[in-house]
A and B are shown apart, each in its own frame.
Chain A
Amino acid sequence: MALALNGGQINAAAGSNQALRETLQAIANEFQSQYAQTGSGPIQKVDATPAKNLGPPGQCALSVTGANGTFTVNITLPQQASGSAKPANPTSAPIYQEVSSSPVSNFTTGLVVYPITVASSMSFDNPGATLFWRLRSTYDQRTYTSYTYQQGGAVAAGLDTSAAHNPNLLLNQSNFARIDSIGAGATATIRIYGSGGVGTSWTSILGENSKVIPAGTLLNVTYGSTVYVAWDGSRYQMKSDLTQTFADTWLPVGSTSVISNGAGLVLPLITPVSTSGHIIGYDITNGGNDITGTLSFAIVDTGGGTGATVGPATISAGVLTALGAGNPGASYSGATTVTASGGISGGVAGGGGPTGNNNGRLYTTS
């Protein structure tokens, strides 16, 4: 029975059933009302499968080249070919092309079939890949030509070259990071922060884009060398050599000399406490600053006293906070002096640079 929603169809279907006839007619009327309101009508059946053509098109030619990490595919249609034996496409009908590639010549592994298209040129990004290519063509997406293979074997896409980029693109970068080191007792602290001061984030600039990187504090860093700091995307990396910060995806931040704080090493001043020619203790009149190594003490007496030694020295945050008594010695009757030496912080005083130092940038910015 043909499908149609009209009076004849309804009468044929309902027969003598009056109730069914009225129901079907009501449905038909409802549809007509909807069509009138929306300006539409019954949807016509559409065949999803294109009509089958009589045969495949003439053979198309394939040319694939690779450069700058991209494969460029060019297809020559039959009507574009030359010579007396050129294949025919007299009506210039659209020809669908199916391009595929594989890392092996027999296309048994790693096969990639690209979306079918009527375009005759296309490009695929695949840096570093070397692939074999083939093509087959069809009018109706059902009947294909035999495969045409890229002549000369596999094609290499190559890698990006500077020719593929705007001039100086990769160098148009800088950052607004500050990096400095401060003494923290026996070790140093490296601080990375922004123009807002210690603890504030900083901005990395790449071309016309920028992104914000969190501030960082690196503790327990050994004195005595210049370090280079990079941001690896989630944490800071600290290296002793600049080139070690050039890993792909790392962002060089800057460098700093990890030495003493701004005031540098200051040796403590000690006054001995004597009684009856014996040294029984030591007063610390100045605890010094930035002491990072072992201190030595020389006790000299103008009255001929000898034998006195110091006890344990307590150093906290680079400052001598206590000096115990050792052997009291004897005959300390003159002017007695205690002179400290050593305690070297391992660097040059003040060499850490001023707070807010910005060494290590590609370009100096404010």
Chain B
Amino acid sequence: MSYQLHQQYLDLASGFHVIELRDERGHKHLLQIAVGHDACPACGAVHPKTNLGELDPTAAIVTHNEALNTSQQNMLEYAKKHGLVVK
């Protein structure tokens, strides 16, 4: 049981690179990278993001998958130790 990349897409309306991670049981974790513009909350002026070249979505996916899977593995070991049913 482990989290893996399920789907990813660019949502132009919200300005997010949406990455959906899922495990075999259908549990989801959403990783969203803000790649759209920043708008001043006061005046609404648009400031395009200038750091898109520095972003590394692949590394972010790997990092979050590892964290989620480590957490899940710890939980499963806990369940096994205490004889719990995993739902």
Once the chains bind, are A217 and B18 in contact (CB under 8 Å)? Answer: no
Once the chains bind, are A214 and B32 in contact (CB under 8 Å)? Answer: no
Cα A152 to Cα B55 in complex, Å, equals 65
Instruction: For A220, list chain B residues within 8 Å (CB).
Output: 33-35, 49, 51, 55
Q: Does A183 count as interface, using CB distance less than 8 angstroms? A: no
Instruction: For A214, list chain B residues within 8 Å (CB).
Output: 27-30
Once the chains bind, are A218 and B32 in contact (CB under 8 Å)? Answer: yes
Cα A215 to Cα B28 in complex, Å, equals 7
B62 CB to nearest A CB, Å:
13
Once the chains bind, are B30 and A217 in contact (CB under 8 Å)? Answer: yes
* Contact of B41 (CB < 8 Å), options: A201, A221, A226: A226
* Contact of A186 (CB < 8 Å), options: B11, B14, B51, B67: B51
Once the chains bind, are B32 and A216 in contact (CB under 8 Å)? Answer: yes
Given A216-B30, A219-B31, the answer on whether A225 and B14 have CB atoms closer than 8 Å is: no
Q: Does A199 count as interface, using CB distance less than 8 angstroms? A: yes
Instruction: For A222, list chain B residues within 8 Å (CB).
Output: 34, 38, 49
Interface residue total, chain B, C-beta cutoff 8 A:
24
Q: Does B60 count as interface, using CB distance less than 8 angstroms? A: yes
Instruction: For A225, list chain B residues within 8 Å (CB).
Output: 41
Chain A positions 205-246 with a Cβ under 8 Å from a chain B Cβ: 214-222, 225-226, 235-238, 240-241
Instruction: For A199, list chain B residues within 8 Å (CB).
Output: 29, 67-68, 71
Q: Does A289 count as interface, using CB distance less than 8 angstroms? A: no
Instruction: For A186, list chain B residues within 8 Å (CB).
Output: 51
Instruction: For A226, list chain B residues within 8 Å (CB).
Output: 41
Q: Does A187 count as interface, using CB distance less than 8 angstroms? A: yes
| Contacts from A to B (Cβ < 8 Å) | 186-187, 199, 201, 214-222, 225-226, 235-238, 240-241
> Can you list 21 A-B pairs, Cβ within 8 angstroms, ordered by A?
A186-B51, A187-B34, A199-B71, A214-B29, A216-B29, A216-B32, A217-B31, A217-B32, A218-B33, A219-B31, A220-B34, A220-B35, A220-B55, A222-B38, A225-B41, A235-B11, A236-B30, A237-B14, A238-B16, A240-B41, A241-B41
